Amino acid sequence: MWLHGFTQTRDSAHVFRSILAGAHELWTLDLPGHGSAYSIRASLDETADLIADVLPDEPVALGGYSLGGRVALHLALRHPSRLCKLVLLGASRGIEREEERRARGARDEELANRLDLVGTETFLGEWLAQPMFASLPDDPLERAARSTRNAHGLAESLRRAGTGTQEWLAPKLPLIAVSTLALAGANDAKFVAEASAIASGVQHGSFDVIADAGHAAHLEQPQRAADRIGSFLID
């Protein structure tokens, strides 16, 4: 199962998903506030529980990007028996210092208010103008899908599951015993450090970077990202 990032939907990253689906049965779903789940309001812990409720009985390989990676981390901690492997791309352990965490929560609230005010199209233009998405390719299918996204749903996702709401997970990482692959785009220095730290913190972690890619490495280099994940899944 693959979990999408903030502002995306289950149908995002279609090239990356199609490559993975060529060799694996691949499931996706819309996270709370996104796509068809725009009316669902849930914290990171609650989102992890909701996903656990729809997973099959047998353990699955779970992967996620950014917001989806943070959800995947929470699921691995709350429902470890449901997973056989864990893949994290551009994921975060959270923010260690409480003061910085509160500041991030305030910023997330400002962004949520902006979303409510200007709507999805304007907000997404501003969101994707950030330096971390500077190398993101223009995808006509992804661009066309933006109009289907609900501004209030995305705003509530920020308020309830933004990084400012997340507890500092580093002390809990040693509880994750499932084989874990932590990835980041090679040009995304902050999340390269995060991926390395996550891989070092879990019991059975490996770390790698996707060359010539920034934060959304599976969108910028879908073949490289899918190949690396595919190799991990069959090891």
Residue 95: its pLDDT value, please? 98
Residue 49 has pLDDT above 70, yes or no: yes
Quote the percentage of the chain above a pLDDT of 70: 97
Contacts of 230 (CB under 8 A, 6+ apart): 19, 20, 23, 24
Residue 188 has pLDDT above 70, yes or no: yes
Q: For residue 141, name the pLDDT band (cuts at 50, 70, 90).
A: confident
CA dist., res. 17 & res. 9, Å (int)? 12
Residue 144 has pLDDT above 90, yes or no: no
Q: What is the CATH number of domain 2-234?
A: 3.40.50.1820
- Report pTM: 0.95
CA distances (Å), origin 89, targets 107, 157, 196, 210: 23, 19, 11, 10
Least confident of 10-24, 99-113, 133-147: 133-147
Query: pLDDT tens digits for 147-173?
Result: 568 999 999 999 999 999 999 999 999
* Mean of all residue pLDDT scores within the chain: 94
Residue 143 has pLDDT above 80, yes or no: no
